[in-house]
Amino acid sequence: MSRKAYGIDFGTSMIKIYRKGQGVLLDEKNVIAVADRKKVIAVGNEAYEMFEKAPVNITVSYPVKCGVVADIENMQALLDTFIGQLNSRQLFGGREFYVAVPNDITEVEKRAFYDLIANSNAKAKRIWIVEKPIADATGAELDVTTAQGVMIVDIGAETTEISILSLGGIVLSKLIPVGGSKLDETIKLTVKKKYGLVIGDKTAEGIKKQLACAVLSPTESMKVYGRDVVSGLPTEMEVDSDMVFDSITEHLTTIIDAIKVILERTPPEISADIIDSGIYITGGSSQIRRLDELISGETGLRVNLVKDPENSVVNGMGKIMEDPSLSELAFSLKQANYSA
């Protein structure tokens, strides 16, 4: 195994790169700003700053949608720009790569993640694939190689991946197109309907982070800025947590219903393990306040919050590359049979 290795998680909202022995090297918005003639203007957090502010000749976009690479060209350009930046800071050098892929997507979609690295300017010599739920559970410090069954739910930006693991493999896994971005979207719509205020995606996300709570709790409020629907002028307004609660509940219910479906399909011996150990929730959106309480109340199971939830996938890949006893959790392309 090479001394220098990297693990990449191409998330819908964030791109994260882990460097073996060192930890998370890069954690930025998975966003690219491109001008006419495909010239890359900015990537990552810098490109996100331009989101909803850029002039017409600059397009700011997220190349990963609902967990899969939707815009290969821009994703490649984004990755190459980051690798170029890391190279120039002498932070790059190794040629071994790990890439995390959702389980419940097609072989061709999985292969696209591999190709991004194979075709990048990183000159990869070896590329390993790790299924995201396996990486997540390993990052959550769970031992997935034993016969003890585990349920892990990664609530990200555009996706929620619900999985049952046992003996180092995936018993069941479902990827649903619901996550933090759906919550931002409904908050944005509700603010427009209820307050007559047009707000941007960033503001909606800010409202969610500050006011979203999964169970009804004492009302809190905050000031936000936007444009008045009627006058068309910039205005500030006070929005409250009851409005946020009402608008996000439906999406949280969708996630819980999907968890229940997976639990119903789980083999009984594994169910017994899950009753014992509880459900693990991770991903950035698992940080919605009191979400553990809501899921626990609805399923009757204990719910464990994973530490550093946004990074559990890359942290898991880190463990897999650093601990030789976990090497069987990563596959080469041939083993995984993703040849398209």
Residues at the site binding Mg ion, with contacts judged by CB under 5 A: 11, 156
- The site string for ligand ATP over 33-72 (x = CB under 6 A, - otherwise) reads ----------------------------------x-----
Question: Residue 239's closest CA among 187, 183, 186, 291?
Answer: 187
CA–CA distance, 22 with 28 (Å, rounded to integer):
17
Residue 67, phi-psi category: left (phi > 0), alpha (psi -120 to 50), beta (remainder) = left
Which of 61, 145, 271, 287 binds ligand ATP (CB under 6 A)? It is 287
32 burial type by CB count under 10 A (0-12 exposed, 13-18 middle, 19+ buried): buried
- Select 276 or 308, whichever has its Cβ closest to ligand ATP: 308
**Contacting residues for 287 by C-beta, under 8 A, at least 6 apart:** 309
Residues in 142-171 that interact with ligand ATP by CB under 6 A: 156-159
Angle between helices 180-195 and 241-265 (to 10 degrees): 150
- Kindly state whether residue 131 participates in binding ligand ATP, applying the rule CB under 6 A: no
Between 139 and 179, CB nearer to ligand ATP: 179
* Burial classification of residue 260, based on how many CB atoms lie within 10 Å of its CB (0-12 exposed, 13-18 middle, 19 or more buried): middle
C-alpha 54/C-alpha 52 separation (Å) is 6
Let me know: does 129 contact 110? Beta carbons within 8 Å. yes
**Partner whose footprint covers residue 285, from Mg ion, ligand ATP, none (CB < 5 to 8 Å by kind):** ligand ATP
What's the chain's Rg over C-alpha atoms? 21
Q: Which does 115 bind (CB under 5 to 8 A by kind): Mg ion, ligand ATP, none?
A: none
Q: Which of 190, 285, 304, 315 binds ligand ATP (CB under 6 A)?
A: 285
Between 181 and 304, name the residue whose CB sits nearer to ligand ATP: 181
Question: Which of the choices Mg ion, ligand ATP, none does residue 205 contact, using the CB cut-off of 5 to 8 A by kind?
Answer: ligand ATP
**Of 180 and 226, CB closest to ligand ATP:** 180
Stretch that binds ligand ATP, among 192-200, 236-244, 270-278, 283-291 (CB under 6 A): 283-291
Does 266 interact with ligand ATP (rule: CB under 6 A)?
Answer: no
Q: Is 242 helix (H, G, I), strand (E, B) or coil?
A: helix
Residues that contact ligand ATP, how many (by CB under 6 A): 22
Please give the structure tokens belonging to residue 2. 């090479």
Q: Which residue is nearest to Mg ion (CB)?
A: 156
Give contact residues for ligand ATP (rule: CB under 6 A).
11-14, 67, 156-159, 179-181, 205, 208-209, 212, 283-285, 287-288, 310
